[in-house]
Amino acid sequence: MTVREPREVPTAAEELRYPAGALVMVSGLPGAGKSTLLARLFPLVGDETRPVAVGDVRVIDSVQARNWWRRYLGGLPPRLLIPLGIVMHVWRIARALFAGKSVVAHTRGTWALMSYGLAWLARRLGTELHQIMLDVDPHTARAGQFSRGRVLTARTFARHCRRWRALVDRVGRTGELPPAASVVVLDRAAADLLKGIRFDE
């Protein structure tokens, strides 16, 4: 496991711990296994239409927003549902932060505007954004897309791969990934050993 964390370096099998009220973004290529990881660590089954409450933690997977919109606008083409899902996903994260909840949220991680915007909001609310990067090779991520039935075009996926590799390389060089207060990079094996994501009281 590759880990870059400014305060404490956990081992692969340990829990990752964060301050109460923080925003933890689980990022990775489309198909990398972000939703699978969240479902293993939290009580998610994949058909939710709203964030899942686990005590004072809100677990927000982007599929929840897509499921909500599909229930009402399922006849629309996917390319029209995607932006609606993104807007709702970000709004739900912001709403949970405003409510003072600890948040674990799903993100591709390659949208800098989203990262900087949510980090700015977290700072305004007196907390921080942290990143957990699930780093798998593009072939594994592509297979994950086919297995879930949501496949990006080759051109779009290649763009995500270029941006993702630049982010991972930056962490490898500097140990940091602004605007995140901390970053942890997990390969698939390390992610499978992760016991939990916890927030301090």
Lowest mean pLDDT among 9-23, 106-120, 159-173: 9-23
First to last CA, the chain: 27
Q: What angle do CA 49, 55, 61 make, to 5 degrees?
A: 30
Determine the average pLDDT of the residues in 157-185: 94
- Distance, CA of 149 to CA of 12 (rounded, Å): 30
Higher pLDDT, 185 or 3: 185
- Asked if pLDDT for residue 73 goes beyond 90, the answer is no
CA distances from 164 to 138, 149, 168 (A): 10, 22, 6
Whether 34 contacts 106, CB under 8 Å: yes
Q: pTM for this structure? A: 0.89
Q: Are strands 52-54 and 57-60 parallel, antiparallel or unpaired?
A: antiparallel
Alpha helices in the chain (DSSP H): 34-41, 62-73, 78-98, 112-124, 138-148, 154-174, 188-193
